[in-house]
Amino acid sequence: MQKRYMVIWFRYLTTDWLTLRKPELKDVPFAFVAPERNRIIITAANPIAEAQGIYRGMAAADAKAITTNLQVIDHLEGKEAKLLRQLGLWCIRYTPIVAIDLPDDLILDISGCAHLWGNERAYLKEIVNKLRSAGYNARAAIADTIGTAWAISHYGKTKPIIESGTQAQALLNLPPAALRLESTVLQKQQKLGFATIKSFMQIPRTVLRRRFGDGFLLKMAQALGGEEEYLTPLIPPVPYTERLPCLEPVRTAKAIEIAINKLLEELCTRLQAEGKGVRKAILKCYRIDGIIVHAKISTNRGSHSVSHLFKLFELQISKIEPALGIELFLLEAPKVEDIDPLQEKLWAGKPGLHDTALAELLDKLAGKIGNKAIYRYLPSENYWPERAIKQTLSLTEIPTTKWRTDRPRPIRLLQRPEPVEVMALLPDYPPKVFTYKGKRHIVEKADGPERIEREWWQDKGAHRDYYAVEDADGQRYWLFRLGHYDDAPQWYLHGFFA
């Protein structure tokens, strides 16, 4: 069977991904940047920025001079490989052999696959249209060799499907860069005036080797079919799934418990051997009337403890209605994570968030009242108090900044500041009296002001002057004045101290 390959080029891989996550960037020129040799270099630019003259490898300072409204985003190390892996695993539905070619290509061995879609043209159209409808700018080409398919997908201007045995004719009018040559070789060819591949195609190999080296001849031979090019295919992850068929339909809660326990034992044995733990698990119960009943659990930390996971499922058993009977149980773990092996400590310590007992307690509470009722708060690097915290459900997420302790902060912060009526005798002084929800408070003690400016890159408006005040009853509040005193400012209550 004649080998056939498809190369898919994602010209704007990372910028397309970010545009999908942040649709507001769709009509904005932006680029990823990274430090390189004491300079900040453009690593990727979206189509709008590219149309304005921004390209990969350009200095970020030059790019900003060309486009004043260019948004610059830090390069995400390793993001290309992760995206290509996800896209490559998706492509396995079209061929079992898919390989990654960094930074922005997928290579598919499509030998014997295209006829399932009618022909190669329909096959290519199906894949490219699906990728484009998903939001990725994709170009693809098919040829006998990986080198030719790569060249046509990147530099071809005519038909994307090259017939067998016509690699040389397809490459003649393409630039030398289509052979995936090193930059030093391309610079030499540019100096010698080799603008297309046909300008050196007929030159003796001995002359080309002396000028450009063996690597150049290898790339040309691979593109023409004289040398085999080997792939390292993606290996799809084996799903964490366990099945338990029943000899007779199951109807009792006790039988369901036995089935769950048996499935968990098999699943956890495998997870423990691989050093992984369950974060999310789904039990599917197939009834003889054709209805599938689901029971789901999730954990705050990866776990392969059969007893702990069973207790979480035990809370869901009452919701499983067997009706005429369940004939098949299927346990899936769609989300797992690596977990560290337990270690014996030589001294007693406070495990805190790393305490397994805490994670198990939160899992039990989440099973009863739901995950959305339990939050963990982390500091966020923002000036505005209501933006200086963020919620997370993870016990393992590490804060990116520290809690501010140099200034007093209330133990309870209102999500939105509430207006109050005040009586202030002097400018830039705390109020003597304020009324909150119809109750009058006489201020006995006060500390402040602490001025907090707005984050000008997010919104515009007046600053805030905060005061920590204590009323005659000993209750402490966090008040602020919005704007300057001369501008008839409005006062708000933002929090309560202990």
Domain limits, the chain: 5-155, 168-224, 241-343, 412-496
pLDDT tens-digit series, residues 446-498: 888 888 887 766 667 788 899 999 998 899 999 998 887 766 778 999 999 98
5-155 and 241-343: identical CATH topology: no
CATH number, domain 241-343: 3.30.1490.100
| Separation CA 80–CA 77 (nearest Å) | 8
pLDDT of 127:
96
Q: Are 306 and 331 in contact (CB under 8 A)?
A: no
| Separation CA 459–CA 438 (nearest Å) | 32
Q: What are the tokens at 268?
A: 């956890």
pLDDT of 128:
96
Q: Are 61 and 77 in contact (CB under 8 A)?
A: no
pLDDT of 149:
95
Percent of the chain at pLDDT exceeding 90 = 51
Q: Which residues of 14-23 are buried (b: 16+ CB within 10 A; e: fewer)?
A: bbbbbbeeee
Give yes or no for residue 260 having a pLDDT over 90.
Answer: yes
From 16-30, 185-199, 336-350, the region with the lowest mean pLDDT: 336-350
Question: Which residue shows structure tokens 């007779």?
Answer: 248
- 65 alpha carbon, distance to own chain's centre: 31
From 155-159, 179-183, 481-485, the region with the lowest mean pLDDT: 481-485
3-state SS class at 159: coil
Alpha helices in 95-173 (DSSP H): 120-133, 146-155, 167-171
pLDDT of 343:
41
Q: Does domain 5-155 have CATH number 3.40.1170.60?
A: yes
- 78 alpha carbon, distance to own chain's centre: 11
pLDDT tens-digit series, residues 385-399: 887 887 776 666 677
User: How large is the average pLDDT for residues 6-19?
Assistant: 95
pLDDT tens-digit series, residues 324-382: 999 999 999 998 888 765 443 433 444 555 556 666 676 667 766 666 667 777 887 77
Most confident of 60-69, 89-98, 237-246: 89-98
- 489 alpha carbon, distance to own chain's centre: 43
Query: Which amino acid is present at 47?
Result: P
Query: Which amino acid is present at 175?
Result: P
User: Mean pLDDT of all residues in the chain?
Assistant: 87
- Could you tell me which residues come within 8 angstroms of residue 282 by beta carbon, excluding any fewer than 6 positions away? 294, 295, 296, 331, 332, 333, 334
Give yes or no for residue 405 having a pLDDT over 80.
Answer: no
Quick one: DSSP state of residue 225?
T
| Separation CA 380–CA 401 (nearest Å) | 7
| Separation CA 29–CA 54 (nearest Å) | 9
**Which of 317, 313, 357 is closest to 332 using CA atoms?**
313
User: How large is the average pLDDT for residues 301-319?
Assistant: 88
| Separation CA 120–CA 107 (nearest Å) | 15
pLDDT of 348:
41
Strand blocks (E) in 174-275? 241-250
Q: Are 32 and 43 in contact (CB under 8 A)?
A: yes
Torsion region of 401: left, alpha or beta (phi above 0 gives left; psi -120 to 50 gives alpha)? beta
User: How large is the average pLDDT for residues 172-177?
Assistant: 92
pLDDT tens-digit series, residues 24-51: 999 999 999 998 888 899 999 999 999 9
3-state SS class at 324: coil
User: How large is the average pLDDT for residues 84-99?
Assistant: 94
- Could you tell me which residues come within 8 angstroms of residue 157 by beta carbon, excluding any fewer than 6 positions away? none
Give yes or no for residue 292 having a pLDDT over 50.
Answer: yes
Q: Which DSSP helix (H) or strand (E) runs through 261?
A: helix 253-274
pLDDT of 5:
96
